[in-house]
């Protein structure tokens, strides 16, 4: 069955997490700085620094990138020792972030919960494709959707399953493979240039909702760029998808 434009019907929505489902980066930034203190490091990331560092997807990759920037001799360190130290710092950060989310530091973005629920009720298949850690996803969505949140998302691909981070398309390619759907049958939802590049790299038409951390990004190639998902209906998504360029 296809639509009047000949495009196959919309079958699945694939959501990014950080910045798309919720404005999380303020809490991530605070958690990074808390972890640096707990690790005895004199590092402190201010907002302009973090805006630059967000160009590196993945918390561990971001820490390693910063370390190489501030410590020219870091390359002299034994690679496994470096990786172990980065992992330890990131573990502290993830624990700090999880506590912040559980304390209510992060809110879902406007319209997100209503769209997830209406899309699921309309029979659209839902998936998550993120570079964040699984602990962070469950802390956020357990709080927002309740303990059965995983029932809503058929496929979840994250930092633990897709090690090649956005803008590499791996996380979206793996999500499509597990859905057993072509990209043409789906829409992706993102907030950043890296995310858009990853989704487009997997052939996905992509709806962008920028935030304070990504408003300055280049979103050329997006299907739509919206202030939020507030008021967006499944009918809107079906119409945009049907009219999307092949
Ligand atoms: C955004 C990211 C993540 C978060 C930090 O992920 O790049 O690295 O900034 O989370 P998304 P971690 O793809 O959901 O936008 O420290 O767990 O990486
Ligand atoms: Mg994001």
Cα separation of 83 and 163, whole Å? 14
Q: What is the pLDDT of residue 71?
A: 81
Residue 79, CA distances (Å) to 36, 62, 74, 89, 133 in order: 20, 16, 9, 15, 22
Q: From the CA of 20, which ligand is nearest?
A: 2
| Pocket of ligand 1 contains residue 200 by CB under 6 Å | no
Angle at 108 between CA 219 and CA 207, to 5 degrees: 25
β-sheet with 125-129: strand ranges across: 155-157, 125-129, 12-15, 186-190, 205-208, 224-225
Q: From the CA of 28, which ligand is nearest?
A: 1
Q: Quick one: tokens of 62?
A: 């971001």
Q: Quick check: is 18 catalytic?
A: yes
* Ligand 1 atom closest to 166 (CA): 13
DSSP 217: S
Cα separation of 241 and 23, whole Å? 25
Catalytic residue among 16, 42, 91, 185: 16
Q: Is the pLDDT of residue 1 over 70?
A: no
| Pocket of ligand 1 contains residue 17 by CB under 6 Å | yes
Burial (Cβ within 10 Å: 0-12, 13-18, ≥19) of residue 84: exposed
For residues 206, 210, 215 and 221, what is the CA-based torsion angle, rounded to 10 degrees? 10
| Pocket of ligand 1 contains residue 195 by CB under 6 Å | yes
| Pocket of ligand 1 contains residue 136 by CB under 6 Å | yes
Q: What is the pLDDT of residue 116?
A: 98
22 forms beta bridges with: 18, 108
Q: What is the pLDDT of residue 3?
A: 59
Contact 242, 11 (CB under 8 A): no
List of residues 6+ apart from 228 with CB closer than 8 A: 109, 110, 111, 209
Angle at 99 between CA 139 and CA 64, to 5 degrees: 90
pLDDT single digits (tens) 77-129: 788 889 999 999 999 999 999 999 999 999 999 999 999 999 999 999 999 99
Q: Quick check: is 23 catalytic?
A: no
Q: For a pocket test of ligand 1, which of 24, 36, 58 has the largest count of ligand atoms closer than 8 A to its C-beta?
A: 58
Q: What is the pLDDT of residue 83?
A: 93
pLDDT single digits (tens) 199-221: 999 999 999 999 999 999 999 99
pLDDT single digits (tens) 47-87: 999 999 999 999 999 999 999 998 877 667 788 889 999 99
- Give the chain's domains with CATH numbers: 12-23+106-243 (3.40.50.1000), 26-102 (1.10.150.240)
Catalytic residue among 18, 78, 91, 185: 18
Contact 140, 101 (CB under 8 A): yes
Q: Which of 70-79, 188-197, 234-243 has the lowest mean pLDDT?
A: 70-79
Q: What is the pLDDT of residue 4?
A: 60
Ligand 1 center to 58 CA (angstroms):
5
| pTM for this predicted structure | 0.96
| Pocket of ligand 1 contains residue 167 by CB under 6 Å | no
| Pocket of ligand 1 contains residue 211 by CB under 6 Å | no
Cα separation of 30 and 15, whole Å? 24
Q: From the CA of 136, which ligand is nearest?
A: 1
Atom 8 (ligand 1) nearest CA:
58
Ligand 1 center to 109 CA (angstroms):
16
């Amino acid at each position: 069955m296809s639509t009047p434009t000949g495009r196959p019907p919309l079958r699945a929505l694939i959501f990014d997490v950080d910045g798309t489902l919720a404005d999380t980066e303020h809490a991530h930034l605070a958690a990074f700085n808390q972890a640096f203190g707990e690790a005895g490091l004199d590092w402190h990331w201010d907002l302009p620094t973090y805006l630059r560092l967000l160009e590196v997807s993945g918390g561990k990759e971001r820490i390693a990138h910063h370390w190489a920037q501030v410590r020219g001799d870091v390359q002299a360190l034994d690679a496994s020792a470096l990786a172990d130290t980065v992992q330890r710092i990131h573990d502290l950060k993830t624990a700090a972030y999880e506590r912040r989310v559980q304390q209510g530091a992060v809110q879902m973005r406007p319209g997100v919960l209503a769209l997830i629920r209406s899309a699921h009720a309309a029979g659209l298949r839902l998936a998550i494709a993120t570079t964040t850690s699984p602990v962070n996803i469950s802390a956020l969505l357990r709080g927002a959707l309740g303990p059965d949140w995983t029932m809503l998302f058929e496929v979840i691909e994250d930092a633990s399953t897709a090690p090649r981070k956005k803008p590499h398309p791996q996380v979206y390619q793996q999500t499509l493979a597990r859905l057993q759907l072509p990209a043409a049958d789906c829409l992706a939802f993102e907030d950043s240039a890296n995310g858009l590049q990853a989704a487009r790299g997997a052939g996905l038409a992509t709806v962008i909702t920028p935030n304070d951390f990504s408003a300055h990004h280049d979103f050329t190639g997006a299907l739509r760029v919206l202030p939020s998902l507030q008021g967006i209906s499944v009918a809107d998504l079906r119409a945009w998808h049907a009219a999307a360029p092949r």
